[in-house]
Amino acid sequence: MREWKLVQGRTVPLGEVDRELRRAWTALDEDSRREGSGVMLGLREVNLVAVTREANLEQARATAALAARDHPGRIILVAPGGMGSSASIATGCLIDEESRRIVCSEEVVIRGAPAGEELLAAAILQLLVSDVPVIGWWTEDVAGAAESLPWLAGLSDQLVTDLGLAADPWASVEALTGLMSKMPELPVGDLEWLRIAPWRQLLAEVFERPERRQLIAEIAEVEILHADAPMQALLFAAWFSARLGMSVGAGARWGQEDHPVIEMVGSVGGALKVRLRRDELGSGPAGSGRLSGLTGVSIRMRAEGSADAARGAECFGRVISIARLAHSLVCRCGAEEGLDSAPVLKSLGLQQLDDHQLLSSLIDTPALDYDLTSILRVALDLSAAPGFVI
């Protein structure tokens, strides 16, 4: 059993932050000794630098504090703008009830940061704990951050973004791919990309079997349903089509049949129709109890396959579907009608992860994500095609 104890410190001018942090640690140590609470450890695994807006500051604070329970360190939250500059200090300690070991993190909230990106970066550099990695977390839409995002990336060992906040999918993907092309060695992790990881994992496992791999050449269409998660649908479409060797051909445009649809082409022939559809039954306002995210994927095979080797496969000429249930993803194969009662090919337990859990997972895996780099290029082409609406 572990207990979290947050101690709010003082608000001081920016130039006095270091002295105030030392004072806070001294006070914590004295309190611990006086209460006989146990051994206090100033264990710092990371510097987490989060840039946010004043309106979203408290939400970012809560997410960062929860992530710090798994990755103690120094949290620096920056809310640029306003007059003057100040910083408020807080410490959060995780107390193990069995060992009485106390592991503490620090939180520095900077408001009214210095004007100018160079001054802001210089102020933060002075607050970083040396010899531990710096995780830069951009908590807002990356579109329109062309001037601000580079300075955060420049002082980070790893950058975290969230394309789920995109108001304009093309603008956000373009901004992120532009940054990644300028800084190819910087690991970038995205929360929205991570949210569709179970869907990617399940589908990859379904096609692991040799007889099912023969069906890949027979895939004619993929339909992706989403509930208030257009970026998840776009990223999944980009991932799936890229795995099939498909790209947006010259002159391709989105049609509006019942829903947005585009035809992609393969490098050695073939085509794939990609259909994106909002799931009206799965969508709903915040607090309605309905979950956002992907709700279903349907992969339709050609009615008459061209590969004789694929004819013996169980899903030849049929539909492979993935449906989201309360706590799992279930993949079935059958005719278009009656899929709900079709045999289950594979299932995967599904846990709805909060943002702090996704953030903690990315901190655990700081390596370059080459998949994300290549998939974003396809997503950019898809969203740039004329007629794109999602």
Strand 219-227 relative to strand 271-278, pairing: parallel
DSSP 35-61: HT---EE----EEEEEE--GGGHHHHH
pLDDT digits (tens, 9 = 90+) for 43-55: 678 999 999 988 9
Domain regions of the chain by residue span: 2-191, 195-349
The per-residue pLDDT for 123 is: 81
Contact 91, 104 (CB under 8 A): yes
Residue 93 corresponds to which amino acid? C
Indicate the pLDDT class of residue 297, thresholds 50, 70 and 90: very high
Secondary-structure breakdown of the chain: helix, strand, coil percentages, each rounded to the nearest 5: 35, 30, 35
Give the range among 49-58, 102-111, 122-131 with minimum mean pLDDT: 102-111
Which fold would CATH assign to domain 2-191? Rossmann fold (3.40.50)
- DSSP-assigned letter for residue 124: H
The per-residue pLDDT for 210 is: 85
Given a cut of 90, is residue 32 above it in pLDDT? no
Q: Please give the residue that has the higher pLDDT: either 131 or 88.
A: 131
Q: Please give the residue that has the higher pLDDT: either 66 or 330.
A: 330
Residue 266 DSSP SS3: strand
Taking residues 23-37, what's their average pLDDT? 65
Instruction: Provide the token pair at 108.
Output: 């520095």
The per-residue pLDDT for 286 is: 46
Q: What is the mean pLDDT of the chain?
A: 85
- In the block, tokens 């500059």 appear at 85
Residue 95 DSSP SS3: strand
C-alpha span between 258 and 153 (Å, rounded)? 41
The per-residue pLDDT for 146 is: 76
Indicate the pLDDT class of residue 213, thresholds 50, 70 and 90: confident
CB proximity list for 316: less than 8 A, separation 6 or greater: 215, 218, 301, 305, 310
The per-residue pLDDT for 287 is: 44
C-alpha span between 112 and 120 (Å, rounded)? 10
Taking the model in full, what pTM does it have? 0.89
What is the largest distance, in Å, between two alpha-carbon atoms of the chain? 79
Specify which residues 159 forms β-bridges with.
Answer: 136, 188
221: exposed, middle or buried (C-beta count within 10 Å: 0-12, 13-18, 19+)?
A: middle
pLDDT digits (tens, 9 = 90+) for 301-344: 987 655 554 555 678 889 999 999 989 999 999 998 888 889 99
Strand 134-138 relative to strand 158-161, pairing: parallel
Integer angstrom CA distances of residue 315 from 35, 36, 241, 320, 342: 66, 66, 19, 7, 11
Instruction: Provide the token pair at 232.
Output: 């998840």
The per-residue pLDDT for 288 is: 44
The per-residue pLDDT for 147 is: 76
Percent of the chain with pLDDT over 90: 50
The per-residue pLDDT for 154 is: 93
- In the block, tokens 């003082």 appear at 10
Residue 381 corresponds to which amino acid? D
The per-residue pLDDT for 111 is: 80
Taking residues 49-70, what's their average pLDDT? 90
The per-residue pLDDT for 1 is: 45
Tell me which residue of 114, 88, 78 sits closest to 17, measured CA to CA.
88
Integer angstrom CA distances of residue 159 from 175, 365, 371: 14, 12, 16
Integer angstrom CA distances of residue 135 from 138, 154, 183, 188, 362: 10, 11, 15, 10, 10
C-alpha span between 225 and 233 (Å, rounded)? 7
